């Protein structure tokens, strides 16, 4: 049985001799003319949720931002390293994307860690601080769903993570400005890959609605 890295090398060879040849004109135009994606996607780093595969996207379609629990932090200028904020800044100001899509998903390990922290496990140093931006959303779920089961509360927290990221996006002035001008739209989607079922947040209804 081949290990993970060997599988990747074999996959590259298949790509080079197969899909690459089929998409060569597109790739060459993306190289010569540059990328012009209309959609930036904030997705989880989870290996089971690949937006390009999920949405059958072509090269150049999606500008990807991936991190634990598909989170967008609020605008702040302290500190030095802001990977997610920098990627979004490049997408909006550098590439002029028309849409930012926050994609949440079921069975998210980062959300689970936030909901069920293990006080005896000190191996994580950065993840707890990162997912702590969801603590207020978690408290709201506990307060409003006290009689619901663990799975229902977890699904609610996963969806609330999408809403927190959407709210945090509006703390960036260049996001707000382009929304007001009508040049940028925000979208919140949630996928259960086991179903599979994709839902989109309906701003008027105030809830996630299935996409048929």
How far lies 170's CA from each of 59, 67, 120, 124, in Å?
28, 19, 37, 29
CATH code of 35-210, in short, is: 3.40.1050.10
In this structure, are residues 124 and 210 in contact, taking their beta carbons and an 8 Å threshold? no
Q: What is the C-alpha separation between 84 and 81, in angstroms, rounded? A: 9
Which sequence spans correspond to the domains of the chain?
Answer: 1-34, 35-210
Q: Could you confirm whether 140 is annotated as catalytic?
A: no
Taking only the tens of pLDDT, the chain with its 212 residues reads 568 999 999 999 999 999 889 899 999 999 999 999 999 999 999 999 999 999 999 999 999 999 999 999 999 988 778 999 999 999 999 999 999 999 999 999 999 989 987 765 678 889 999 999 999 889 889 899 988 998 999 999 999 999 999 999 999 999 999 999 999 999 999 999 999 999 999 999 999 999 98
Catalytic residue among 13, 14, 36, 48: 48
Q: Could you confirm whether 108 is annotated as catalytic?
A: yes
How far lies 96's CA from each of 114, 167, 181, in Å?
34, 20, 13
In this structure, are residues 114 and 134 in contact, taking their beta carbons and an 8 Å threshold? yes
Q: Could you confirm whether 157 is annotated as catalytic?
A: no
Catalytic residue among 46, 50, 61, 192: 46
Catalytic residue among 66, 108, 138, 178: 108
**DSSP secondary structure string for all residues of 119-172:** TT----SSHHHHHGGGHHHHHHHHHH-TTS-HHHHHHHHHHHHHHHHHHHHTTS
**Whole-prediction pTM value?**
0.93
Token output for 9:
């090398």
């Amino acid at each position: 049985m081949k290990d993970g890295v060997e599988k990747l090398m074999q996959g590259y060879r298949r790509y080079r001799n197969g899909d690459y040849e089929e998409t060569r004109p597109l790739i060459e135009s993306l190289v010569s003319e540059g990328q012009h994606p209309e959609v930036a996607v904030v997705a989880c780093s989870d290996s089971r949720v690949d937006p390009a595969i999920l949405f059958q996207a072509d090269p150049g379609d999606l500008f990807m931002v991936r991190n634990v629990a598909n989170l967008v932090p609020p605008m702040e200028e302290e500190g030095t390293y802001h990977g997610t904020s920098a990627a979004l800044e490049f997408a909006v100001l550098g590439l002029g994307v028309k849409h930012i899509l926050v994609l949440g998903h079921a069975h998210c390990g980062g959300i689970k860690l936030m909901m069920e922290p293990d006080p005896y496990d000190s191996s994580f140093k950065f993840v707890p601080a990162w997912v702590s931006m969801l603590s207020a959303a978690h408290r709201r779920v506990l307060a409003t769903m006290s009689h619901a089961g663990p799975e229902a509360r977890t699904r609610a927290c996963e969806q609330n993570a999408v809403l927190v990221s959407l709210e945090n996006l509006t703390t960036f002035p260049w996001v707000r400005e382009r929304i007001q001008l009508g040049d940028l739209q925000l979208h919140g989607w949630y996928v259960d890959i086991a179903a599979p079922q994709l839902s989109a947040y309906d701003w008027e209804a105030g809830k996630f609605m299935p996409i048929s």
